[in-house]
Amino acid sequence: MQEYKIKIENREYTLNNNSGKYDRVFDQKFNPEFKKGEQLTNEQILAYYDKFGGLILDKNGQEIGNLGFWKAYEEKLTKEKQQKENWQKKKEAASSLVEFIKGFKEVLWFILLLIFLGALFFGYDKIVSVIKDIKDLL
């Protein structure tokens, strides 16, 4: 029986390859996260090995109950997915704000153009007095 030592956060775990469970960690049919040519982290290896019900021993040779590592890893994946979704929402909101500002800037330029054209046709003094009247109303 072949054994593998994995270290995570200064803790050492021993995994064995009985029933080929360790090998399944590196098989795409069983582990969709694994892509050929990529390296899995020790955390991923331990989580998937745990998911497959593999025997995990601590540094003292004591058996560790199953699914604890898998559940922790699954929670981490869920958090990362939520963070990604939240980040995407924030990006979309920021993009909308930028588009609003761009649109608002165009409206301001249009108002300035109207004021300029009004000054050309009605005279500067008339426009200034209209603007002062509007300001007094507000």
Query: What's the half-sphere exposure (Cβ side, CA atoms, 13 Å) at 70?
Result: 14
Q: Is 71 part of a structural domain of the chain?
A: no
Which residue among 32, 66, 100 closes a domain? 66
**Overall residue count recorded for the chain in this entry:** 138
- Looking at the structure, tell me whether residues 9 and 59 fall in a common domain: yes
8 Cα distance to chain centroid: 24
The structure's pTM equals 0.59
Q: What is the pLDDT of residue 37?
A: 66
Do residue 9 and residue 55 come from a single domain? yes
The pLDDT assigned to 106 comes to 84
Closest CA to 24 of 57, 49, 4, 7: 49
Residue 95's pLDDT is: 87
Are 62 and 97 contained in the same domain? Answer: no
* Contact residues for 13 (Cβ-Cβ < 8 A; gap 6+): 5, 6, 7, 46, 56, 57, 58, 59, 64
pLDDT of residue 1: 59
The domain in which residue 30 lies consists of 3-66
- Domain assignment present for residue 79? The answer is no
Does residue 49 lie in a domain region? yes
Number of domains the chain contains: 2
Q: What is the pLDDT of residue 75?
A: 94
pLDDT of residue 78: 93
- Give the span between the Cα atoms of 48 and 26, in whole angstroms: 9
Each residue's pLDDT tens digit in the chain (138 positions)? Answer: 588 888 888 889 988 877 778 888 888 787 777 777 678 889 988 888 888 888 888 888 888 877 789 999 999 999 999 999 999 999 988 888 888 888 888 888 888 888 888 888 888 788 788 888 888 876
What is residue 34's predicted lDDT score, i.e. its pLDDT? 76
Residue 85's pLDDT is what? 93
Q: Is 7 part of any domain?
A: yes
The region, left, alpha or beta by phi > 0 then psi within -120 to 50, assigned to residue 62 is beta
Claim to verify: residue 61 and residue 98 sit in the same structural domain:
no
